[in-house]
Amino acid sequence: MKTRSRGAASDWASWMAGACEQARDPRLAGFYGAFPHDPSAPVADLPLIAIDLETTGLDPARHAILSIGLLPFTLSSIRLSDRRHWVLRPPTGMSGESVRFHNITHSDTEQAPTMDEILTDLLTALAGRLPVVHYHPLERRFLQRALEQELRQPLRFPLIDTMELEARRHRRGGLARLRHWLGRPPASLRLNDCRQRYGLPAYGTHHAVLDALATAELLQAQIQHHYDATTPVGELWV
Least distance between another protein and beta carbon 221 (Å): 5
* Contact window for another protein (CB under 8 A) among 40-48, 113-121, 129-137, 218-226: 218-226
| 225 touches another protein (CB under 8 A) | yes
Question: How many residues form the binding site for another protein (CB under 8 A)?
Answer: 25
Which residue's CB is nearer to another protein, number 23 or number 71?
Answer: 71
| 78 touches another protein (CB under 8 A) | yes
Q: Bridge partners of 165?
A: none
Q: How far apart are CA 160 and CA 90, in angstroms?
A: 27
* DSSP 8-state secondary structure symbol assigned to residue 2: -
Residues 154-213 that bind another protein (CB under 8 A): 198-201, 203-205, 207, 209-210, 213
Residues 6+ apart with CB under 8 A from 29: 20, 23
Taking CA 213 as the corner, what is the angle to CA 69 and CA 161, rounded to the nearest 5 degrees?
85
Pairing state between β 130-133 and 65-73 = unpaired
Which residue's CB is nearer to another protein, number 133 or number 209?
Answer: 209
* DSSP 8-state secondary structure symbol assigned to residue 81: G
* Contact window for another protein (CB under 8 A) among 129-137, 146-154, 186-194, 216-224: 216-224
Q: How far apart are CA 103 and CA 163, in angstroms?
A: 24
Applying CB under 8 A, which residues contact another protein? 76-81, 83, 85, 198-201, 203-205, 207, 209-210, 213, 216-217, 220-221, 224-225
